Structure 1
Amino acid sequence: MLFKRGRYSGFLRPISYGIDLAIIHILAYQFFGYSIPYIKYVLLVSAAWIILSLKSNFYEIYRFTHVTKIMSLVGKQGVVFFLIVFSFFGFYKDIDNRSIDILKYVALVMFLISIVKLTIYYLLKKYRLLLGGNSRKVVIIGLNQKTDQLRKFFNDNPSYGYKLKHTFDLHGPEKTTIEDCFDYIIENKIEEIYSSVAQISNRDLIKLIDFADNNLRILKFLPDNKEIYSKKLDFSYYGFLPILSLRKIPMDEPFNKFIKRSFDILLSLIVIVGILSWLTPILGLIIKLESKGPVFFKQRRNGLDYQEFYCYKFRSMKPNPLAHIHQVRKGDERITRVGRIIRKTSIDELPQFINVLKGDMSVVGPRPHMVSHTHMYAERIDKFMVRHFIKPGITGLAQVSGYRGEVESDNDIINRVKYDIFYLENWSMFLDLKVVFQTIYNALRGEEKAY
């Protein structure tokens, strides 16, 4: 998906794409006029530009990105764009244009795109500096030379939008316990935590990681004289200061995001048009004939970033006040006769492809729980909240690995969370396809806990 999850407008990225493509195609009109070759040029170059941009991270400009990095991206993009344009004109030899004119066109396009890119970059800086928008509240844990450099970076660069609320000293005369840090972070709604690795004990380090995971806080480290093992860490630079992110999520990469969202849209359209369009009236009539109530059942679930949304299903139970509190158990008397069939074959889940098309869910991801259960598990199960860093799914790695349906003990949900965390840290399109095919196979074969 071209929309970027973050604390700025989700429209900023597609607007940037739109402006750049408009520049490319308006300036290209001089070569073609309105003609079939011009339409082909627009379609081909638009597709090539988007794919190239996703692959090269051309639109991955963050608040801490340096201008030299932006100009480097523009240079690389310009070289490949030049080759694409010349390839097109070389293929259509009947279009008579001088090479120097094409070269001037490419140079002017990249110049104007550079101006637009830098303008947006600096306007965002001014927006943060003058209006205080697009900001993030942060704290620093640990006091030494490195954290002092970071403190100065935040204070000397307000245009980056980081609002440093507190620096905690864990060892000085006015030392703070790690638990006091947690209380402050919760009370002041801190969004990002920056911690010195050298200044924190291994025991407190584990507590900090667990706290960040369970409370959906972004945790980053300053790599000062101690190494962190067994984690896939991501490097960034704030100025010249290296920063380590605790967890790298492949689905946050723009190209992966685009591929996954495209897969979601394509599959959901196939299911909605090819199956739901004719199945819904037939199944709806059967559901209505057996029991009074709506055809669809909707229930509030927690999704990406813990946001609530309505999850849709075909109604498989008699209307009852406990539907949003108690999960279905084996032999549950609330389930209708047709409900047992559609639950056994997972047909009741098909309306969730509407959620996928809307963007609330993905085809594959952690299964969303009822809101009441989410609150309960968040308090009882370590790292349960990590699964909300990505969109929930109709099916998931945990479900095809034997952990679907009723949660009979804490061990069920603990293992489900382990699979969910593995999935979000090791996502690939191949893994999604494997889960989808395994889900179809399990549905046709029938599952013990599908009731």
Structure 2
Amino acid sequence: MKSLGHYRLFSDILFVAVSFVMAATISGREPSKLDGGIVIFLMVAWYFSSKATNLYDDFRTVKFIDEFLLVLPNIMVQMMVLVTSFFMLDDRMHARKVVLLFVVIATIVLTIKKYLAKKIAQFRRINGKNVRKVVIVGASDTGMSFYEMLNKTSHYGYKVVGFVDTFKPVHLNGMYKGTPDELERVLHDTDADEVIITLEKFDQEQLDTIIKTNDKLAVRTRIIPDYFRFNSSRFSVEMFGKFPIVTVRHEPLDYLHWRVLKRGFDIVFSLLVCVLVFSWLFPILAILIKLNSRGPVFFIQERWGRGSKPIKCFKFRSMLVDAPDMDKSGKFMQAGQDDPRITKIGRFLRKSNFDELPQFLNVIMGDMSVVGPRPHAVKHNIETMGKIDNYLVRHWVKPGITGLAQANGYRGETTDFNLMRKRVHFDIWYIENWSFWLDIKIIFMTAYNMIKGEPNAY
């Protein structure tokens, strides 16, 4: 309910203000006439950052851990706002202490508040309080799956009181209440709060009748299209003029502000790697490569970038110069275990992922990102795209030096197409569920795997 969302928003804003007052008091900072402006600044920032992170979009169906993870970026915004405020006030004496205390207090207070609110709400719903009664129109696969989900998650606070369909399914065990023509009677008998329409095929006249009946009795109508026929896990609905449009795949990186954030991080992170690591490691690796075998230090290969457009991908050379990339049958040869084409130093480079370091230059040039689906050789793409469904979807974003699939151990040779399908599944899931924090998580997972060692890296 919107009123509950407003309550949660304004109560959180109040706790933000209280956290600042507590931090300022504990730090020994004397109250200032401008403190009121700082508090307002923090409140306004929380309002807009919470809207950007969709913190209050749902409450019944969101787990506490998910809500907690949404609170953290809002706290980070608050920290930046507070640092900016003290910088503008030129108050360096108390800035660090107040900011640190504010972050700690706000995190603890909001975490406890949200945990208790979630537990109280769930306790009330499990005990039959604040429960919404639902009638499902349509006993299709979608309707039954939705019904089973609500039965398993009583803490959501929804209870299915009956089904309405044009026929009487035998598997409903007494839950069948009538046909769509009898909906008004069913709503009176069940005292339902909401109607969920899950019809496989929509008849416009029938749908209009159902909605009019619901509106007549002030019952909320929700529609779940039969998305099971779509090969995607994320959807978005938006208005195109006066027409509602369902986009089968939702891509956060379609939005300019997220692309700007990701690009900014790519540049900063890549420059830091080049200055702090590449500057001294590059000469060492270059000398080892030249001493081990004749040929250039870099291996430059054409691969597909965003939109399947060709890019020149840089790597440290790990194979012999005249190593073939096609077998006798004309099939692309992936690097395999004990591959005779790989040099001795090349094995070390591949095992440690150091062969990928030059791709930070690709990132700075704008061809690649730090995190994204790994780019494959053009011949590999051509051979694979016709065998794996949705393969080209992974090229909707820039390729990455590391990716979700690689962080989960899916790297190296892929002679088994089931493993390749899993890679593609990870890549598409990443595209549809991208977030800045997901990129950070993948980077840490990759670093951990490099230290631990990866059995499929060869």
TM-score where L is the length of structure 1:
0.50
- Of the two structures, which has the highest relative contact order with CA contacts closer than 8 Å and spacing of 6 or more? 1
Structure 2-normalised TM-score?
A: 0.49
